[in-house]
Structure 1
Amino acid sequence: MSPYSEQRKYIRVECNNPAYVYRYEDQGLYYNASMYNYSSGGNYLASDEKMDIGQQVYIRIKNYDQASKGPEKYENYTGYVKWSTELGTSHPGGRYGYGIEYAEPIYY
């Protein structure tokens, strides 16, 4: 286990869920994204859209299912871009990776 993972407040769970990401101030314009892991405190997703650290975002899960025990249990999430990294053009989920911190913890 890396020292970084020991600093996490919540356990991360791997996934591969299609989603949409919106800038909170412009919810009429959405971008395709892929969510690759999640926890009660946030998630990691990739998208082709460039977003800024600190920006408030709105995430909508494409395969929403209220009976699920994973991130697709909830249709919408609100959070902030905590960190970002450029992935390059060959990454299947998008050119940018984002750590999203939820506005409020989510319990699955």
Structure 2
Amino acid sequence: MTVISERRKNRRAEHKSSIALESLDPGTSMVATMFNYSRGGFYFESDTFISPGKEIFIGISGSPYASESNTYECHRVQVKWLKELYNSPYRYGYGVEHRDSVECSATDIIVTEQDEDNHLQKVKESEMELRKHPRRSFSKPVYFSAHNRYYQGLIRDISRGGLFIQTSDSISLGREIHLVIPHTKFDKNVMIRGKVVRLTPKGVGVKFTGLVKQKRRPKS
């Protein structure tokens, strides 16, 4: 994916905090993490795919834009660019431009304490996984099976612990899959067993769980 560059008119300052995302059409809110900000916008990371140009609402706990600390604020922003991330707990990084502030309370964008706890636990586990198995960009076709069906996709990144498969096929979260990566030591007699641990509009994230020995035909 091509990274869309940004000309920064305003100096950015570091500020890491959990934020809540919601589309302009009210619906399910999602938790993400903000990393820096300026007067004109800020940068956050999320597993949710959002198209550049789209406007969304973002709720910020302890907003750096507020005059008082520990203030919850809502902002309408426009996504200016995104990039795929390889060594982050998240799938995508976003630069957004601030449109305006909106009066709200923490209950207007509904993210429960359980949602945030689950989010923080997921980030912690992902960070530990990344320290053990850094991801790298990769581009190779892959063949895999799930629930007695066969699929083909494209590997976009890979680590010793798993990979991301770009595919338009629908595969449920938690599904066990068996896969073969052509032109590697795993493409003959051995398949890799994996578990789908992440779903995005672009494809699925898979965690390796073991190897599957293939039965060889007896020699005649």
Q: TM-score, normalization: structure 1?
A: 0.75
* Number of equivalences: 95
Runs of 4+ residues over 2 Å off in structure 1 = 62-66
Shift of 1:8: 2.0
Q: Which runs of 5+ in 2 are unaligned?
A: 102-220
Task: Compare CA radii of gyration and give the structure with the larger one.
Answer: 2
Shift of 1:74: 5.1
Q: RCO higher in 1 or 2 (8 Å CA, sep ≥ 6)?
A: 1
| Secondary structure at the counterpart of residue 28 of structure 2 | strand
Shift of 1:12: 0.3
Q: Counterpart in 1 of 2:171?
A: none
Is the CA contact 2:62–2:71 (under 8 Å) kept in the aligned structure 1? Answer: no
- Find the aligned partners of 2:14 and 2:68 in 1 and give their Cα distance: 19
Is the CA contact 1:10–1:40 (under 8 Å) kept in the aligned structure 2? Answer: yes
Is the CA contact 2:61–2:72 (under 8 Å) kept in the aligned structure 1? Answer: no
- Find the aligned partners of 2:72 and 2:67 in 1 and give their Cα distance: 6
Quick one: percent identity of the two aligned structures? Answer: 35
Q: TM-score, normalization: structure 2?
A: 0.39
Structure 2 residue 101 is matched with structure 1 residue 100: no
Cα offsets for 1:41-81 (capped at 9, x unmatched)? 0000001100000000110013457612xxx6451111100
Q: Counterpart in 1 of 2:46?
A: 47
Structure 2 residue 92 is matched with structure 1 residue 91: no
Q: Which runs of 5+ in 1 are unaligned?
A: none
- Find the aligned partners of 2:72 and 2:20 in 1 and give their Cα distance: 13
- Find the aligned partners of 2:91 and 2:43 in 1 and give their Cα distance: 13
Aligned CA-pair RMSD: 2.4
- Find the aligned partners of 1:81 and 1:12 in 2 and give their Cα distance: 17
1:64-83 correspondence to structure 2 within 5 Å: 67-68=68-69, 73=71, 75-83=73-81
